[in-house]
Protein backbone atom coordinates (compact mmCIF):
# COMPACT_ATOMS: atom_id res chain seq x y z
CA UNK A 1 0.00 0.00 0.00
CA UNK A 2 1.21 3.51 -0.77
CA UNK A 3 2.37 5.91 1.91
CA UNK A 4 -0.26 8.10 3.52
CA UNK A 5 -0.46 11.64 2.20
CA UNK A 6 -2.30 12.96 5.25
CA UNK A 7 0.53 15.29 6.24
CA UNK A 8 0.20 17.09 2.88
CA UNK A 9 -3.53 16.67 2.29
CA UNK A 10 -5.12 19.54 0.36
CA UNK A 11 -8.32 19.28 2.41
CA UNK A 12 -6.30 19.47 5.61
CA UNK A 13 -4.68 22.62 4.28
CA UNK A 14 -8.15 24.05 3.64
CA UNK A 15 -9.05 23.34 7.27
CA UNK A 16 -5.84 25.03 8.45
CA UNK A 17 -6.57 28.10 6.31
CA UNK A 18 -10.26 28.40 7.10
CA UNK A 19 -11.73 25.81 9.44
CA UNK A 20 -15.30 26.99 8.97
CA UNK A 21 -15.27 26.58 5.19
CA UNK A 22 -17.24 23.73 3.65
CA UNK A 23 -14.08 21.81 2.67
CA UNK A 24 -12.53 22.41 6.07
CA UNK A 25 -15.59 21.11 7.87
CA UNK A 26 -15.79 18.17 5.45
CA UNK A 27 -12.18 17.21 6.19
CA UNK A 28 -12.75 17.42 9.95
CA UNK A 29 -15.82 15.20 9.67
CA UNK A 30 -13.99 12.81 7.35
CA UNK A 31 -11.07 12.08 9.73
CA UNK A 32 -13.46 10.46 12.21
CA UNK A 33 -13.67 7.33 10.06
CA UNK A 34 -10.92 7.56 7.43
CA UNK A 35 -8.66 4.47 7.58
CA UNK A 36 -5.76 6.42 6.07
CA UNK A 37 -5.98 9.08 8.78
CA UNK A 38 -6.16 6.40 11.47
CA UNK A 39 -3.00 4.76 10.14
CA UNK A 40 -1.22 8.11 9.85
CA UNK A 41 -2.33 9.35 13.27
CA UNK A 42 -1.50 6.16 15.16
CA UNK A 43 1.96 6.00 13.55
CA UNK A 44 2.95 9.41 14.94
CA UNK A 45 5.07 9.78 18.08
CA UNK A 46 3.16 10.65 21.27
CA UNK A 47 4.19 14.31 21.30
CA UNK A 48 3.05 14.86 17.73
CA UNK A 49 -0.21 13.01 18.39
CA UNK A 50 -0.93 15.31 21.32
CA UNK A 51 -0.29 18.44 19.26
CA UNK A 52 -2.51 17.25 16.41
CA UNK A 53 -5.25 16.11 18.79
CA UNK A 54 -5.40 19.55 20.36
CA UNK A 55 -5.17 21.42 17.05
CA UNK A 56 -7.95 19.43 15.37
CA UNK A 57 -10.10 18.65 18.44
CA UNK A 58 -9.47 14.96 17.76
CA UNK A 59 -9.75 12.53 20.68
CA UNK A 60 -10.18 9.27 18.81
CA UNK A 61 -7.43 6.60 18.55
CA UNK A 62 -5.53 7.71 21.64
Q: Where are the domains of the chain?
A: 12-55
Q: Is the pLDDT score of 3 beyond 90? A: no
Segment 9-15 mean pLDDT: 95
Q: How far apart are CA 3 and CA 54, in angstroms?
A: 24
pLDDT > 70 fraction of the chain, expressed in percent and rounded: 97
Q: Is the pLDDT of residue 55 over 80?
A: yes
Residue 57 pLDDT: 93
pLDDT at res. 52: 95
Helix pair angle (22-30, 10-17), 10° resolution:
120
Once rounded to an integer, what is the mean pLDDT over residues 49-60? Answer: 93
The answer to whether residue 1 scores a pLDDT higher than 70 is no
Amino acid sequence: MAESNCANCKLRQKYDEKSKSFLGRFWRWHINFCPGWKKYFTSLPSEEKSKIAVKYYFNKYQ
